[in-house]
Amino acid sequence: MTQVTKIVALSVLAVLVMANPAAAADGGSFSGAFGAGLAVIGAAYGIGKLAGSALESMARQPEVAGSIQTAMIIAAALIEGFTFYALFICSQQNPFTGG
């Protein structure tokens, strides 16, 4: 079992354990808590991969480190913006009916 698989399995287990109290608190919205957990896990993985690749690129070509860093910050901000949007949608009981 690879390390990434172990991390994903433990993350899913943590989401399932933490989602039960969250589902009981807002009337049984397990899917919202599960979706929020998946959104956060995906964003963390994406930003981690982005930062790792950017640091490797800066190590290989130090003369373009400034432009790589700028592009990395912009991409990380876009990922975080999407994550906040996903968390907002997941926090609603039913985003399609407004209830």
Per-residue pLDDT tens digits for 15-74: 666 665 555 555 555 677 778 888 888 899 999 999 999 999 999 999 999 999 999 999
Higher local confidence (pLDDT), 11 or 29 = 11
Q: What is the mean pLDDT of residues 86-94?
A: 75
Q: Long-range pairs for 36-41 at CB < 8 Å and ≥24 separation?
A: 36/86, 36/87, 36/90, 36/91, 37/11, 39/83, 39/86, 39/87, 39/90, 40/83, 40/87, 41/8, 41/11, 41/12, 41/15
Q: pTM of the entire structure?
A: 0.63
How much is the pLDDT for 50? Answer: 94
The domains of the chain, with CATH numbers, are 35-99 (1.20.20.10)
How much is the pLDDT for 77? Answer: 94
DSSP state of 20: H
